[in-house]
Chains A and B, each alone.
Chain A
Amino acid sequence: MHALEFRDVDFSYGDPSQDANAFRIRKLNFTVEEGEFVAVLGHNGSGKSTLARLANGILTADGGEIRVFDTVLGEKNLFEIRKQVGVVFQNPDNQTVASIVEDDVAFGAENVALPREEIGRRIDFALGAVGMRELRGATVSRLSGGQKQRVAIAGVLALKPRIMILDESTAMLDPRGRKEIIDVVLRLNKEEKITVVLVTHFMEEALLADRAVVMNRGDIVMQGAPSEIFARSDELLAYNLALPRIAVITKSLREGGMSVKDTLDISSLADEIAGELKCGS
């Protein structure tokens, strides 16, 4: 049983002959296993955000079917699906509905009419999971970008989803905020066993995933372990994607005449360089 499965999904947006932003997804097939951490990569307009919005019914597919733990997504079970598939969006300022942290985290749980004591427990759990329990009564607008985005994650967690989709949730944050979010996501994946789909254009983040998926013009064009994907640097560049810094360094070292192997681990690259230097001298 897949956690998330797209079967021949069609979706189109706008008229390609008139709108520059128009685009089309044709017969898209895509699966995510339970407990997996998948990174979805692609440049602007590749369809990666559409993928995220289709998965919990914010956008409706024109054809094909989307399954969440073998249940076909449809109009009738929209709320059940949304409880299982949480989505965190890009802009930390446009996701919170309440001025106080705990009120915002409670929002989802209030929507599904949980008993009051249960909502209290969920707030406690969710804020604990993102490491913000002591900021329960804080004012949202006074938090940093990373903290706001952690509140958004907590708001989704309060619904106890089994799958969490992050739609470029780190794009508007500074490096420190990005690290906060990635750390939280990794922990949720490992400790809470939440299946994670991380939509991003930061290649460094994709290195942490179990699997990377590259999208281009509404199609999945590459798929595999991050180390395999980043070894195919020419293809990635053709899809307008930048390589992670470590891959860029390896590549230019090799062009400069050093015979270093492809690696995504900084310390093993350092070892190789050291080995090369010894041989050379």
Chain B
Amino acid sequence: MKDVAFGQYYPADSFVHRLDPRLKILFLIAYIVAIFVASNFYGLALCAAVLILAVALSRLPVGKVFRAVRGALILVIFTAVINLLFHSGKTVYWSCGILCISKEGILFSAYLVIRLVLLVICSSLLTYTTTPVALTDGIESLLTPLKWIRFPVHALALIMSIALRMIPTLMEETERIKNAQKARGANFESGNPLRRVKAFIPILVPLLLSAFRRADELGDAMEARCYGGKKRVKYKKLRFSWRDLLAAILAAALIAGVVLLRVYLGEIV
């Protein structure tokens, strides 16, 4: 966990890893739009095909991809069951009170499950192939237009970058405080949930205090390095390459395809 690559990043050198983070964020947004525009299984099949291509290009192990879905498994199952039981339709196979299982219900919940799974895989593809640092740079760059309404984009980007920088430090600190409390006989593992949550208060208080002290010192160190001037530049510039162009074309083609399938083939089934 002591890495910038905390969380999900899977280091590899692939087509997807090398894409500009801005493009990956925009691609994800386009993909989400496409999933919601897709109104039938042909549209979803197209979305799935694009995602399979992206996963193949990212050189991620298939296990990793499924692990992402496993995280959202409860949500997926819940959605499937609720829609299966409550969606009414013409061809009813079984019914009991307000509950019924129909052909339309089965199709509709399959449609929702596929949507959800695609959504989860695509967003974790972004975090698997992009370091948090690149992600913040990308977000900063995409927010640049907000400067026109005097939104402090630079400051926001710096806040995000410092937050990322401090995560490993604060994790270490949490571990240290936890051990110190354990040495004094604190118990974090047993008891009912409320008790366990309560046991964390003696960790949170010192952690918070130390975070404030760190913030104070960091502020001094930043000022000492001339922070606070009106002009500030950024050393690293993000650059679009031919890969990004290809990915952008793919995203555009996907949206166009999904829209066409919706217009010509209509709703589900």
Q: Which of B3, B217, B218 contacts A142 (CB 8 A)?
A: B3
Q: Which of B4, B223, B227 contacts A99 (CB 8 A)?
A: B4
Q: Does A248 sit at the interface, judged by CB under 8 A?
A: no
Task: Give Cα A96–Cα B133 distance, bound, in whole angstroms.
Answer: 14
Binds A, one of B81-89, B228-236, B260-268: B228-236
Q: Does A48 sit at the interface, judged by CB under 8 A?
A: no
Q: Which of A53, A93, A106, A111 contacts B214 (CB 8 A)?
A: A93
On whether A91 and B229 interact (CB within 8 A), knowing A99-B133, A100-B133, A106-B235, the answer reads no
Collect the chain B residues with CB atoms within 8 Å of residue A111's CB. 225-229, 232
Q: Does A159 sit at the interface, judged by CB under 8 A?
A: yes
Nearest chain A CB to B72's CB is how many angstroms away? 28
Nearest chain A CB to B21's CB is how many angstroms away? 14
The answer to whether A79 touches B158 (Cβ under 8 A) is no
Task: Give Cα A113–Cα B132 distance, bound, in whole angstroms.
Answer: 25
Task: Give Cα A82–Cα B227 distance, bound, in whole angstroms.
Answer: 10
Collect the chain B residues with CB atoms within 8 Å of residue A113's CB. 229, 231-233
> What are 24 A-B residue pairs whose CB atoms fall within 8 Å in the complex?
A53-B220, A58-B223, A79-B229, A83-B226, A86-B224, A94-B214, A95-B221, A97-B162, A97-B165, A97-B222, A98-B133, A98-B161, A103-B133, A106-B236, A107-B227, A110-B234, A111-B226, A112-B226, A112-B229, A112-B231, A116-B233, A120-B235, A141-B168, A152-B221
8 A Cβ contacts from B178-237 to A = 214, 217-218, 220-229, 231-237
B residues with CB within 8 A of A? 2-4, 132-133, 158, 161-162, 164-165, 168-169, 214, 217-218, 220-229, 231-237
Most chain B CB neighbours (cut-off 10 Å) among A58, A93, A109, A123: A93
Collect the chain B residues with CB atoms within 8 Å of residue A159's CB. 225-226
Q: Which of B3, B217, B237 contacts A91 (CB 8 A)?
A: B217
Q: Does A77 sit at the interface, judged by CB under 8 A?
A: no
Task: Give Cα A258–Cα B214 distance, bound, in whole angstroms.
Answer: 50
Q: Which of A93, A99, A110, A116 contacts B232 (CB 8 A)?
A: A110
Count chain A residues whose beta carbon lies closer than 8 angstroms to a beta carbon of B.
Answer: 42
Nearest chain B CB to A130's CB is how many angstroms away? 15
Task: Give Cα A248–Cα B222 distance, bound, in whole angstroms.
Answer: 40
Nearest chain A CB to B138's CB is how many angstroms away? 15
Q: Does A213 sit at the interface, judged by CB under 8 A?
A: no
Collect the chain B residues with CB atoms within 8 Å of residue A139's CB. 3-4
The answer to whether A96 touches B165 (Cβ under 8 A) is yes
Task: Give Cα A103–Cα B140 distance, bound, in whole angstroms.
Answer: 15
The answer to whether A107 touches B3 (Cβ under 8 A) is no
Collect the chain A residues with CB atoms within 8 Å of residue B169's CB. 93, 141
Collect the chain B residues with CB atoms within 8 Å of residue A96's CB. 165
The answer to whether A141 touches B3 (Cβ under 8 A) is yes
The answer to whether B225 touches A156 (Cβ under 8 A) is yes
Collect the chain A residues with CB atoms within 8 Å of residue B218's CB. 94-95, 97
8 A Cβ contacts from A144-168 to B = 152, 155-156, 159
The answer to whether B222 touches A110 (Cβ under 8 A) is no
